């Protein structure tokens, strides 16, 4: 190799490294900018009116060092028909528990008609908690499950659609035909999915997680929500999604609010890539549910709150609940004939 050739090669390698460094810097700066926009403040916050009423209501989340389990409340709402500043009841509530030591994720979906204590607001369905702000919702879920919930992520239907589309959709086995039409919504959110393995875009994914118009109502719906969320999480871990992370965040950022800081999100993202789902469970489990009438409305009460908390701990420690599986299945089958519980 001549001296001139060697110098040319060194120049090319140096320029290539410089371009890669600049591209990498742009990538991380873009991510940082978008992550910073997820946490809304002031009038940009969907909870601005609540925060104005009680200026001292906002609770600062603990500093997460990254070496202890962290629990995040995920909430999705249907904001159609609500005025700006109004907070609808939660359509979906899930708690993701991530253990940085075992690299395991447990996902709990909360049945929205579960009747429980809403801190400083009496007893009500747990899906009403968010109307009093995210801190109340986190505390209500924490009291129900018996675990500390440090963080929340809040979005609406549009945010969900944008997320699924941003990762180019997900592949899901649709377990049966799902069909429902509603003139009241001008057919905007009609549901029509056929049984079988298929690729779902954002609109169809929303159909999949919203459907509850069968005998199992919210019970089977929460199963689908956990299943789809797991599929999205796996899709986000792919090389192609990671490469497009800045654009994905840009798409969903306007529709998301959270109390997670940039550093928290960065640590959680790094942990999430290394972790796997160990369990996805419904809360309360079937054998601890009692259908009750309160004030003339059908709600779900917990037969034994202490046993429910023990159940959650079993899931977190082993990924398998201690309640007898056959009994759980039998109780689930018994609910086939139960009429669907009213939405609110």
For tokens 């708690």, the residue is: 95
pLDDT of residue 326 exceeding 90, the answer is no
Q: What confidence category does residue 113 fall into, taking pLDDT thresholds of 50, 70 and 90?
A: very high
Per-residue CA distances from 339 to 48, 90, 217, 218, 285 (Å): 38, 21, 8, 11, 18
pLDDT digits (tens, 9 = 90+) for 168-177: 999 999 999 9
pLDDT of the residue at 6: 54
Picking from 20, 76, 73, the residue whose alpha carbon sits closest to that of residue 46 is: 76
What 3-state class would DSSP assign to 79? coil
Picking from 95, 29, 74, 20, the residue whose alpha carbon sits closest to that of residue 245 is: 29
pLDDT digits (tens, 9 = 90+) for 126-139: 999 999 999 999 99
Query: What's the rounded Cα separation, in Å, for the pair 207 and 301?
Result: 28
Classify residue 315 by burial, with Cβ atoms within 10 Å: 0-12, 13-18, 19+: buried
DSSP string for residues in 227-278: HHHHHHHHHHTSHHHHHTHHHHHHHHGGGEEES--HHHHHHHHHHHHH-EEE
Classify residue 39 by burial, with Cβ atoms within 10 Å: 0-12, 13-18, 19+: middle
Query: What's the rounded Cα separation, in Å, for the pair 83 and 227?
Result: 32
Query: What's the rounded Cα separation, in Å, for the pair 202 and 167?
Result: 9
Contact (CB, 8 A) for 288 and 303: yes
Contact (CB, 8 A) for 154 and 258: yes
Average pLDDT over the chain reads 79
pLDDT of the residue at 52: 56
pLDDT digits (tens, 9 = 90+) for 193-210: 999 999 999 999 999 988
What 3-state class would DSSP assign to 25? helix
pLDDT of residue 3 exceeding 80, the answer is no
pLDDT digits (tens, 9 = 90+) for 60-86: 666 667 678 899 999 988 877 677 777
Instruction: Tell me how far apart the 2 most distant CA atoms of the chain are, in Å.
Output: 91
pLDDT digits (tens, 9 = 90+) for 286-297: 999 999 999 888
Q: What confidence category does residue 188 fall into, taking pLDDT thresholds of 50, 70 and 90?
A: confident
Query: What's the rounded Cα separation, in Å, for the pair 134 and 151?
Result: 9
pLDDT of residue 23 exceeding 80, the answer is no
Classify residue 29 by burial, with Cβ atoms within 10 Å: 0-12, 13-18, 19+: exposed
């Amino acid at each position: 190799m001549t001296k001139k050739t060697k110098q040319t090669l060194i120049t090319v390698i140096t320029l290539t490294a410089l371009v890669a460094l600049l591209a990498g810097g742009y990538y991380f700066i873009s991510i940082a900018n978008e992550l910073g926009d997820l946490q809304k403040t002031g009038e940009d916050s969907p909870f601005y009116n609540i925060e104005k009423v009680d200026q001292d209501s906002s609770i600062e989340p603990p500093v997460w060092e990254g070496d202890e389990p962290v629990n995040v409340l995920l909430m999705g709402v249907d904001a159609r028909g609500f005025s700006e500043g109004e907070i609808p009841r939660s359509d979906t509530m899930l708690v993701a528990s991530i253990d940085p030591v075992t690299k395991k994720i447990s996902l709990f979906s909360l049945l929205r008609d579960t009747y429980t204590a809403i801190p400083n607001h009496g007893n009500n369905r747990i899906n009403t908690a968010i109307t009093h702000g995210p801190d109340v919702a986190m505390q209500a879920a924490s009291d129900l499950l018996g675990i500390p919930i440090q963080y929340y992520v809040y979005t609406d239907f549009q945010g969900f659609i944008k997320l699924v589309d941003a990762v180019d959709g997900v592949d899901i086995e649709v377990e049966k035909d799902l069909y429902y039409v509603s003139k009241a919504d001008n057919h905007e959110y009609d549901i029509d999915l056929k049984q079988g393995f298929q690729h779902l875009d954002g609109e169809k994914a929303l159909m999949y997680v919203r459907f509850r118009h069968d005998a199992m109502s919210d019970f089977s719906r929460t199963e689908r929500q956990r299943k789809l969320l797991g599929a999205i999480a796996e899709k986000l871990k792919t090389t192609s999604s990671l490469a497009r992370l800045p654009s994905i965040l840009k798409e969903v950022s306007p529709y998301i609010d959270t109390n997670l800081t940039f550093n928290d999100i960065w640590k959680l993202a790094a942990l999430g890539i290394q972790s796997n789902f160990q369990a996805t469970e419904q809360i309360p489990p079937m054998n601890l549910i009692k259908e009750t009438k309160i004030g003339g409305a059908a709600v779900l009460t917990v037969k034994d709150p202490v046993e429910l908390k023990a159940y959650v701990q079993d899931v977190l420690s082993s990924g398998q609940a201690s309640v007898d599986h056959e009994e759980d299945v039998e109780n689930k089958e018994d609910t086939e004939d139960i009429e669907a519980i009213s939405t609110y």
